[in-house]
């Protein structure tokens, strides 16, 4: 089984990717990155390089850095900004976003707004340029084309241009109703028949049982999950998570990887975890207000350990008991090293020698080993 965490803007932060990897994801995507900003916005570049540096500092599962755009040169230049990290780590690949439905993508003419046949030369130009200029595998993630058979035709072209696998989010683009309606998994099944490179199925996973159903139906080589992971980061495992435990696990990962998730991102994640199981509880609105008003990760952690536990009718979840701190509150020193700062991170990047998830033909660059061999 090859389970993959989807790219999600502002939600695919390193602590979250690590969390889902701890609970069964075998590969994860970064959020969509904008090449122009990787080149012209130092703060943006540093933020995302910090993520990749910390990610690469440990033995880990593969990560796919997703880029968007409509200009082959720009996309290649943006990819080169992160490729240094890819070279060092050896388990990164780069994905091209051909599925973003947002108005900004419409205005900027990228994402799903390149799926019309008239724009295929642009798409082919980007994938070919990336494939010939970069030393890492390239992939593409798209939505359904109109009419549907065009999806197979475009995907075959992407394969011919050097895409090492294709992910299909099997819905058509709709800016207003982004993920509503069922994904058309028959198209994924058919796409699998058309491609020689691996096909990744995306859409319709609401609960654990859907994983097997989806893979059985589509015959896909891998299965990507997005929105459901936000509420249930353990969906790849059989059992629903303990909300407090999973929230604290995520928060401890935020502390472990400082400066890789903004406060808003952390608030959103913990809110989603709690919402998933307790949205209808009378105290949920109090929780929501408290988390929205929290001004630091420590405050969110305190809320989770004490108030959330109380609302759930449980004992507070104290820190590992510290003689000097019988209440379990973090010491000032602890607080300092936990703060989600923007400081420059200096981490030695170790060579990753992790097998990747997908079987890619040996003819392709840096062929991945099968996940089964891990």
Q: Which residues are catalytic?
A: 100
* Min CB(319)–ligand FMN separation in Å: 31
HSE-up of residue 135 (Cα within 13 Å, Cβ side): 12
Strand 138-143 and strand 163-169: pairing? parallel
Q: Using the rule CB under 6 A, is 228 a contact of ligand FMN?
A: yes
Write out the DSSP string of 227-283.
HHHHH-TTTTSSSPPPHHHHHHHHHHHHHHSTTSS-HHHHHHHHHHHHHHHHTTSTT
Give the residue with the Cβ less far from ligand FMN, 182 or 324: 182
Q: Using the rule CB under 6 A, is 32 a contact of ligand FMN?
A: yes
Give the residue with the Cβ less far from ligand FMN, 264 or 314: 264
- Rounded CA-CA distance 372/374 in Å is 6
Q: Which of 166, 187, 225, 261 binds ligand FMN (CB under 6 A)?
A: 225
From the list 7-15, 236-244, 254-262, 310-318, the region that binds ligand FMN by CB under 6 A is 7-15
Q: Which of 3, 15, 20, 31 binds ligand FMN (CB under 6 A)?
A: 31
* Min CB(311)–ligand FMN separation in Å: 26
Q: Using the rule CB under 6 A, is 9 a contact of ligand FMN?
A: yes
Write out the DSSP string of 34-76.
-HHHHHH-HHHHHHHHHHHHHHHTS----EEEEE--S-HHHHH
Residue nearest to ligand FMN (CB): 226
Q: Using the rule CB under 6 A, is 115 a contact of ligand FMN?
A: no
Give the residue with the Cβ less far from ligand FMN, 203 or 258: 203
Classify burial at 207, counting beta carbons within 10 Å of its beta carbon; exposed 0-12, middle 13-18, buried 19 or more. exposed
DSSP character at residue 119: G
Give the residue with the Cβ less far from ligand FMN, 14 or 205: 205
Q: Calculate the CA 266 to chain-centre distance.
A: 15
Give the residue with the Cβ less far from ligand FMN, 11 or 70: 11
Number of residues that bind ligand FMN (CB under 6 A): 21
Q: Which of 18, 61, 141, 192 binds ligand FMN (CB under 6 A)?
A: 141
For residue 156, give Cα distances in angstroms to 140, 164, 165, 178, 190.
11, 11, 10, 25, 12
Q: Using the rule CB under 6 A, is 97 a contact of ligand FMN?
A: yes
Residues, the chain, total? 374
Q: Using the rule CB under 6 A, is 169 a contact of ligand FMN?
A: yes
Which x/- pattern, by CB under 6 A, does the window 44-73 give for ligand FMN?
----------------------x-------
From the list 6-14, 116-124, 150-158, 299-307, the region that binds ligand FMN by CB under 6 A is 6-14
For residue 279, give Cα distances in angstroms to 16, 245, 288, 307.
21, 17, 10, 16
> Which tokens sit at 74?
């720009």
Q: Using the rule CB under 6 A, is 261 a contact of ligand FMN?
A: no
Q: Using the rule CB under 6 A, is 205 a contact of ligand FMN?
A: yes
For residue 287, give Cα distances in angstroms to 143, 255, 272, 291, 312.
36, 22, 11, 6, 11
Using an 8 Å Cβ cutoff, are 321 and 340 in contact? no
Give the residue with the Cβ less far from ligand FMN, 178 or 364: 178
Termini Cα distance of the chain:
12
- Rounded CA-CA distance 175/165 in Å is 26
Give the residue with the Cβ less far from ligand FMN, 203 or 259: 203
Q: Using the rule CB under 6 A, is 101 a contact of ligand FMN?
A: no
Q: Using the rule CB under 6 A, is 6 a contact of ligand FMN?
A: yes
Interface contacts to ligand FMN, rule CB under 6 A: 6-9, 11, 31-32, 66, 97, 99-100, 141, 169, 179, 202-203, 205, 225-228
């Amino acid at each position: 089984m090859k389970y993959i965490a989807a790219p999600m803007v502002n939600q695919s932060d390193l602590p979250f990717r690590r969390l889902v990897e701890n609970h069964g994801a075998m590969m994860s995507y970064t959020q969509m990155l904008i090449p122009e900003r990787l080149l012209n916005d130092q703060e943006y570049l540093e933020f995302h390089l910090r993520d990749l540096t910390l990610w690469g500092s440990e033995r880990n599962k593969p990560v796919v850095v997703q880029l968007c755009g409509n200009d082959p040169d720009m996309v290649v230049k943006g990819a080169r900004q992160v490729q240094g990290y890819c070279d060092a780590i050896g388990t990164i690949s780069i994905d091209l976003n051909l599925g973003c439905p947002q108005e900004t993508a419409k205005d900027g003419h990228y994402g799903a707004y390149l799926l019309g046949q008239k724009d295929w030369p642009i798409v082919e130009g980007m994938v070919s340029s990336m494939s010939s200029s970069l030393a890492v595998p390239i992939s593409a993630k798209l939505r359904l084309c109109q009419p549907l058979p065009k999806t197979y035709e475009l995907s075959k072209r992407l394969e011919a241009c050097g895409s090492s696998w294709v992910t299909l989010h099997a819905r058509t683009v709709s800016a207003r109703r982004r993920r509503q309606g069922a994904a058309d998994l028959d198209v994924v099944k058919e796409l699998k028949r058309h491609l020689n490179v691996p096909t990744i199925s995306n859409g319709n996973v609401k609960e654990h049982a859907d994983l097997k159903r989806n893979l059985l139906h589509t015959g896909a080589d891998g299965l990507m999950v997005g929105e459901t992971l936000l509420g249930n980061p353990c969906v790849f495992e059989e059992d629903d998570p303990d909300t407090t435990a999973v929230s604290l696990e995520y928060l401890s990962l935020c502390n472990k990887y400082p400066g890789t998730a903004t406060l808003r991102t952390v608030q959103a994640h913990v809110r989603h975890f709690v919402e998933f199981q307790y949205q209808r509880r009378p105290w949920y609105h109090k929780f929501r207000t408290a988390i929205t008003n929290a001004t630091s990760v420590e405050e969110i952690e305190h809320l989770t350990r004490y108030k959330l536990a109380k609302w759930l009718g449980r004992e507070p979840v104290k820190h590992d008991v510290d003689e000097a701190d019988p209440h379990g509150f973090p010491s000032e020193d602890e607080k300092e090293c936990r703060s989600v700062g923007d400081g420059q991170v200096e981490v030695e990047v170790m060579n990753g020698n992790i097998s990747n998830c997908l079987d890619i033909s040996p003819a392709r660059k840096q062929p991945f080993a099968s996940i089964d061999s891990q």
